Amino acid sequence: MRHRFNAKWTDTIGINSLYSTINANSFSPIEPRAGLSFAPDTRQRFSAGYGLHSQFQPGYLLYYGATTINGDPQEQNTGIGPTRTHHYVLGYDRALGQRLRMKVEAYYQWLFDIPVSVEPSSFSLVNTGAGFERFFPDSLHNAGNGYSQGVELTLEHAFSKGWYGLFTGSVFDARYRGSDGVWRNTSFNGRHAFNLVVAREITMKMRSVLSIGTKFTYAGGRWYGAVDREASALAQQVVYVDALVNTRQFRPYFRADLKLGYRWDRPKVLHEIGLDLVNVTGQQNLLTLSYAPGHPSGDPIREEYQLGFLPLFWYKVEF
């Protein structure tokens, strides 16, 4: 329900409910949501919001079984419920001119009921998806928690006089606690992330347009830990020392892209030619560690990198 008190004050309130028959714990009957905004004039607006949110666990997590009886897997996590979180946010939006707008948001999230291992360990489901290693969960229960907090800034210049610009910056901290009771960085706790997009269009003769666009990204690296070499050799994949999980950080991530395009508009057809230069500087950004026995260097633990320089040419015709 949305209610406007007057020209300056507006509130939005609601209730969400989630229910799944997968088990008795997958029911969240009341999740309140609320937002309040104050616009003292047409150029600026203050806002605040709160919400309780739940997320169901993937099906494979509930029905995975490490052991079998007569070929039948013995599911060990069928009773775990959804992960839940309290979201709080404060925002300020202001027009700095006819074309330039600024938005600042501060947020805090408290996560609870996160699946963690029953046996004391550093494992928490908040870190899954950070790597490409095979994931065989132990017996889990909803006893983990964590938090994420930060400030985000957005500056946007609307398209005008042939150019557009967008800058986003975020400074944040994200930590979790597993069943061993130790607070650690989440794998995604890069601490900062900055993006800049600038695009320019030049109108030419014969109803044609030349476009140039760039994008720059700089972000903190992903967290990892010390490698347990004996366990890695036995498992034939990278295994980290449990007590040292997420105590080390990869190098910062940087990527610059350049896009060139030419559009020619004819009475019955539109021609567009483009060249995308992805990671134009050829930056080597670390992705993960992998286990490669017999590698020429003699060390089976090797660094894997993300996409290098990639030029892409394309031609499009619209009738």
**pLDDT tens-place string over residues 84-141:** 999 999 999 999 988 999 999 999 999 999 999 999 999 999 998 766 666 677 889 9
CA gap 110, 28 in Å, rounded: 17
- pLDDT > 80? residue 241: yes
- Three-state SS for 277? strand
Residues 288-308: tens digit of each pLDDT: 899 988 777 778 999 999 989
Instruction: Grade residue 61 by pLDDT with cuts at 50, 70 and 90.
Output: confident
Please give the pLDDT value at position 293. Answer: 87
CA gap 179, 156 in Å, rounded: 43
CA gap 275, 272 in Å, rounded: 10
Which pTM does this prediction carry?
0.87
Q: Percent of the chain at pLDDT above 90?
A: 76
Q: Which region among 14-23, 61-70, 176-185, 268-277 has the lowest average model confidence (pLDDT)?
A: 61-70
Instruction: Grade residue 72 by pLDDT with cuts at 50, 70 and 90.
Output: confident
CA gap 248, 286 in Å, rounded: 13
The count of C-alpha atoms lying within 13 angstroms of the C-alpha of 112, restricted to the half-sphere facing its C-beta, is: 4
What is the β-pairing status of strands 310-318 and 83-95? Answer: unpaired
Please give the pLDDT value at position 130. Answer: 65
Non-local (6+) Cβ contacts of 120 within 8 A are: 178, 179, 180, 181
Residues 10-30: tens digit of each pLDDT: 999 999 999 999 898 999 999
Residues 170-216: tens digit of each pLDDT: 999 999 999 999 999 999 999 999 999 999 999 988 789 999 999 99
Rounded to 10 degrees, the C-alpha dihedral 134/135/136/142 comes to 180
- Three-state SS for 122? coil
Higher pLDDT, 243 or 73: 243
Give the mean pLDDT of the chain: 92
Please give the pLDDT value at position 211. Answer: 95
Question: What is the identity of the amino acid at 260?
Answer: L
